[in-house]
Structure 1
Amino acid sequence: MCIISISSIPLVMTLGNSMLIPVLPILEKKVDISSFQSSMIITSYSIAAIILIPVAGYLSDRLGRKKIILPCLLLALLGGLIAGFASWKMENPYTTIIIGRILQGMGAAGAMPIVLPLVGDLFKDDSEKTSSTLGIIETSNTLGKVLSPIIGSAIAAILWFFPFFSISIFSAIAFVLIFFFVKVPKGDNEEPDKIKEFLSKVKETFKAEGKWLTSVFLNGIFAMFVLFGVLFYLSEILEKIHDIKGVKKGFVLAIPLLFLCISSFLTGRKIEGKLKMIKRIMIISLIISSASVVFIGFVKEQLILLLIVTSILGIAIGAILPVLDTIITENIKKEERGTISSFYSSARFIGVAAGPPILSLVMKNYLNPFYIGCGILGILLMFLVFKLVKIDEIEKTENEIA
């Protein structure tokens, strides 16, 4: 029940963002806004998370994981209510919806990133169980992505603004689960470092591990940028080119996400802290991502080919996400784990925030050059991993932590 409860957080936070993607074209018509404005409903959530995630990570290291997670879930609940009531009752609700989404992003900042160090705390003496649990956590995250277009489309078919309210319901469920079933292990009773000392230690961590951390952070940004950009693009063209709407569109959007989910689950079970395998998976995933993303624009009018290409992309992204989680969680000291993993989560949200608005600007005239550019970027990141992720150096750090 502890693992299920922890897994509910990434599930809820993913639903909080991804569930709205298939609803955005409907929202554009109901609220009379542009594609760029609708993309900001995703981006505003992510920007708030980017800014506050490092703060939440620091506080979780100082005050405790659970003490930060629970209030932030309540904040996400409140944000959903504000966005939902604005959509329901206000004549011009767009600004208030954005305010609600910012509150949800603030809630996400204090919930989702703390999950990774919490797992590290719970299973600190068992690297295999840590890797396996992180695989389950990332699978929960990706399962949320699979279910979100289906749930979002189904709920919006009843009333278009219901998805906002449902986010509050899911947040309440996660709150109850965490409150009752997650028992955080007691610390070693050492007095927490003062801010100056703590920042000095974090600086030392980045100085010592900065090369491979930089590679991991950039890969996290790239994976989320491509994923959310492609999802936003698919949501638009399934309606405009293929005339697929409503719940049917939700199921079609879920196909590449299902492959992403399966890939994430299998990878998490396979790696078990094996650093050489982790580096190999990172390189292979980046090659496959780069090779598949360049074709998306060319096959947009052929639905079957489009789904095949995006599913291959989903497999590659699904494989790299638990790898990135594991390499950070198992190779950073507990005292800095919350802060470092929060910086990583913040980096991932940069990709989430940038993907939809950039796609809304380029998809009319510059789609193919954009996706080709993404492919080139993926190859550059692959070379960066090859050069910066030094297995011997990371293993030395891991032994020091142990």
Structure 2
Amino acid sequence: MEKSVDKVSVWCIVSLASIPLIMTLGNSMLIPVLPILEEKVGISSFQSSMIITSYSVAAIFLIPVAGYLSDRFGRKKVILPSLIFALIGGLIAGFASWKMDEPYMMIIVGRILQGIGAAGAMPIVLPLVGDLYKDDDEKTSSCLGIIETSNTFGKVLAPILGSVFAAFLWFLPFFSISALSLISIALIFFFVKAPKEEDEPVKFKEFLSNTKKVFKVEGKWLYTVFLNGVLVMLILFSMLFFLSENLESAHDIKGIKKGFVLAIPLLLLCIASFISGRKIKGNLKTIKKYMVICLIGMSISVIFVGFTSKKLILLLVVTSIVGIAIGALLPALDAIITENIEKELRGTISSFYSSARFIGVAAGPPIMSLVMKNFLNTSYIIAGVLGAILLFIVFKCIKVDEIEKTDKTA
């Protein structure tokens, strides 16, 4: 086992971490730019939210397909073409914004292509980490923490980079995504050596049968993890969309300054994610404890986002607490799936989880655009109530002894 672990180089981990970093930048970088897009393209707040949502919707439906293909043909063979799709999508959105008088529909087309790229790249990283470290749960958890930290660090960089790029040219963020995708393609191609498959790939009928069996046996805790993924990303992206709009309308904070202010709760989210990934070490009891504590923190703090919207310091304190709770929760969700699903179906199951997360990403901005004028406080109170309900479901459905027993039987 130690021999297999030694093969995982630092550059391999850096290369894998580049994928969630770039895919996150590809989506979150546009959030601070949306008010500028509304002005330049002549679109409404709801239409601008669809620039985020179109990316995520494409990913939702294609992620499970990518998961199966990665289990069937290999992780790297799915990741590289997907990154090429993300690169092309950025070019289409960028050139449309640059050259067309009415670029909105072509921007959406480019974003859909980027979503296809995200579907085939980002979710496959999690099972690939499990493949590389095999049965070393502690190293798997640590690496997953780095991967999730890279994801959250992308969220920290995104508002700053998006604001900086847009200060030069408002459509430059689209082109930057293509450039970053090219870098990731080179890193994955040269530095990631996926383990050779010793067994014959599972045939489609057998794959379907095995997948149904996993959901039948493990479904109770798997669906709970999926619900966690949906809710935390729904809260995070609706909150970011609201912050982007609120900082301009209520506090007159714009441009690069707004990018740095937006990055504050996201930086704390990133730090929490890194620490969480280092602490859980594949221990199911610790994972469940983190889930419970984080859901309590998120559910209570999110209620106050709307009430503090006019007071900048209090707003940043509250959103930072929400960010810390979400940041600490995400590596725990990654680890419980990656370390308790057998290798042959790891790509598929983790892809369903990633798809669930993208549902939250897709729904957050448009829902917030519709409710923030008249139902802002109500919406955040509902989010807190949903968090409390989810906490009850975690207590009810995630039984450490049952998961460990099923794992040993498998």
User: TM-score range, shorter-chain basis?
Assistant: over 0.9
In 1, distance between residues paired with 2:376 and 2:300? Answer: 16
Letter in 2 for 1:379: A
Residue 186 of structure 1 aligns to a residue whose secondary structure is: coil
How much has 1:26 moved relative to structure 2?
0.3
Residues 1-400 of structure 1 aligned to structure 2 (within 5 Å): 1-188=11-198, 190-400=199-409
Which of structure 1's runs of 4+ aligned residues deviate more than 6 A?
none
**C-alpha contact 1:330 1:398 (8 A) present in aligned 2:** no
Letter in 1 for 2:173: P
How much has 1:301 moved relative to structure 2?
0.5
In 2, distance between residues paired with 1:398 and 1:232? Answer: 40
**C-alpha contact 1:22 1:152 (8 A) present in aligned 2:** yes
How much has 1:400 moved relative to structure 2?
4.1
How much has 1:322 moved relative to structure 2?
0.2
In 2, distance between residues paired with 1:400 and 1:329? Answer: 17
Letter in 1 for 2:38: E
In 2, distance between residues paired with 1:286 and 1:72? Answer: 33
In 2, distance between residues paired with 1:125 and 1:203? Answer: 24
Letter in 2 for 1:114: I
State the TM-score, normalizing by the size of structure 1.
0.99
Residue 125 of structure 1 aligns to a residue whose secondary structure is: coil
Q: CA RMSD of the aligned region, Å?
A: 0.6
Letter in 2 for 1:285: C
How much has 1:398 moved relative to structure 2?
3.1
Residue 332 of structure 1 aligns to a residue whose secondary structure is: coil
Residue 111 of structure 1 aligns to a residue whose secondary structure is: helix
Cα offsets for 1:80-110 (capped at 9, x unmatched): 0000000000000000000000000000000
In 1, distance between residues paired with 2:100 and 2:287? Answer: 50
**C-alpha contact 1:84 1:162 (8 A) present in aligned 2:** yes
In 1, distance between residues paired with 2:192 and 2:368? Answer: 39
Letter in 2 for 1:212: W
Match of 2:3 in 1: none
**C-alpha contact 1:142 1:264 (8 A) present in aligned 2:** yes
Cα offsets for 1:167-209 (capped at 9, x unmatched): 0000000000000000001111x22222111100000000000
In 1, distance between residues paired with 2:289 and 2:78? Answer: 35
Letter in 2 for 1:161: F
Cα offsets for 1:24-74 (capped at 9, x unmatched): 000000000000000000000000000100000000000000000000000
**C-alpha contact 1:331 1:397 (8 A) present in aligned 2:** no
In 2, distance between residues paired with 1:394 and 1:187? Answer: 27
Letter in 1 for 2:175: F
Unaligned 5+ segments in structure 1 are none
Letter in 2 for 1:96: M
In 1, distance between residues paired with 2:27 and 2:362? Answer: 10
Unaligned 5+ segments in structure 2 are 1-10
Match of 2:4 in 1: none
Residue 345 of structure 1 aligns to a residue whose secondary structure is: helix
Residue 244 of structure 1 aligns to a residue whose secondary structure is: coil
How many percent identity over aligned positions? 73
Residue 273 of structure 1 aligns to a residue whose secondary structure is: coil
